[in-house]
Amino acid sequence: MAVDLSPIDEGLLEQIANIHGMPKGAFNIRKDGQLVQRSSSAHIEISTKTDNPGIDIHIAPGTRGETVFIPVIVTQAGLKDVVYNTFYIGEDCDVTIVAGCGIHNESHEASEHDGIHTFYCGKNSHVRYVEKHYGEGSGTGERILNPVTNVILEEGSHCEMEMVQLRGVSSTVRDTNAELGAGAKLVLTEKLLTHDKQTATSNMKVELKGDDSSVQVISRSVAQDDSVQIFNPLVIGEAACRGHVQCDAIIMGHAKVTAIPGIEAASEDAQLVHEAAIGKIAGDQIIKLMTLGLSEEEAEQEILEDFLN
């Protein structure tokens, strides 16, 4: 082990990756820009990049039922950590990838992590990707996360991506780009909660290049206090394809939410739909839960948790 883990580190890893200690199988754990520990498996090889900070993950064709953990934690004040991770997923795989970043900041200096992830998904492979972002600490320094996710889906491949940010991140700009080949399918779910004066921007560009390709984008967010959110997805249909973009947001306090769902058809056989809804919690929902014995605050929290889940 190159770096020892403190109780704070272990708490962050539990929050973002639901792991206790070192996981089994293939994993790479990074702290403050340094390797903590790494392990490859018989079918999954993790190696250090030679051109940029980060790792290459090669998943052998036919690999099934395995999970790769690549969490990052930041506890060093004033650190800006940038990492490039590239996934090469062979044909006919069925794997889960668990990522995410947790920042603990007790200082007045900003701490930042920018993760640039690129996925090459081989033909007929199924990939489930989970990325959680979390911030904590009593310091006034910002906790900044600016992830970039690039996805290239080959013919017949299927990718499910779940992006979650549910507290403590001062500001984030998320850029997601995807290209889908024939018969490829992408389901992209985003769950976001902002509070205080936090800001969050989510930009997406999905290009449906092959016949029978499809994408479903689902964004669920809660904006509280004086926080600001911008949701800016674009789906481009270049073939006989299907695309659906859905944005649902709950706004509270003096928060602001802007949703700009876009669709662009470059083929007469493209079927694209977008919808967006922003509103407050309905009063009758709170009253109904209060009649069951919950306080107003408890009822509100129950509604928000149900909405995000």
207-239 pLDDT, tens digit per residue, is: 999 999 999 999 999 999 999 999 999 999 999
Measured over the CA atoms of residue 185, residue 236, residue 193 and residue 87, the dihedral's sign is positive
Contact 221, 229 (CB under 8 A): yes
pLDDT classification of 3: cutoffs 50, 70, 90: low
> pTM for the whole thing?
0.92
Pick the closest to residue 188 from 236, 136, 131, 255 (CA basis). Answer: 131
pLDDT at 4 over 80: no
pLDDT tens per residue, range 232-276: 999 999 999 999 999 999 999 999 999 998 999 999 999 999 999
Run of H or E including 241: none
d(CA 70, CA 48): 13
Across residues 97-126, what is the average pLDDT? 96
What per-residue confidence (pLDDT) applies to 1?
41
In which region does residue 306 sit, left (phi positive, over 0), alpha (psi from -120 to 50) or beta (all else)?
alpha
C-beta separation of 100 from 68 below 8 A: no
Q: Is the pLDDT of residue 52 over 70?
A: yes
Q: CA 55, 60, 64: angle at the middle one, nearest 5?
A: 110
| pLDDT of 53 strictly over 80 | yes
Closest CA to 166 of 25, 10, 307: 307
Mean pLDDT, to the nearest integer, of 30-47?
A: 96
Express each pLDDT in 166-202 by its tens digit. Answer: 889 999 999 999 999 999 999 999 999 999 999 999 9
For residue 208, the one-letter residue type is L
Tell me the percentage of the chain whose pLDDT exceeds 90: 84
Question: Of 99, 95, 98, which Cα lies nearest the Cα of 122?
Answer: 95
For CA atoms 26, 17, 135, 7, give the dihedral sign: negative
Least confident of 161-170, 200-209, 288-297: 288-297
Structure tokens at 69: 């953990």
Is the Cβ–Cβ distance between 286 and 299 less than 8 Å?
yes
Q: Which residues contact 98 (CB under 8 A, 6 or more apart)?
A: 17, 18, 19, 67, 68, 69, 70, 71, 130
Closest listed residue to residue 167, CA positions, set 190, 131, 149, 143:
143
Q: Average pLDDT in the 300-309 region?
A: 85
What pLDDT shows up at residue 297? 86
Mean pLDDT of the chain: 94
Q: What is the DSSP letter of 4?
A: P
Q: For residue 45, what are its two tokens?
A: 């090889």
Any idea which residue has 């016949």 for tokens? 211
Burial 282-294 (b: 16+ CB within 10 A, else e): eeeebeebeeeeb
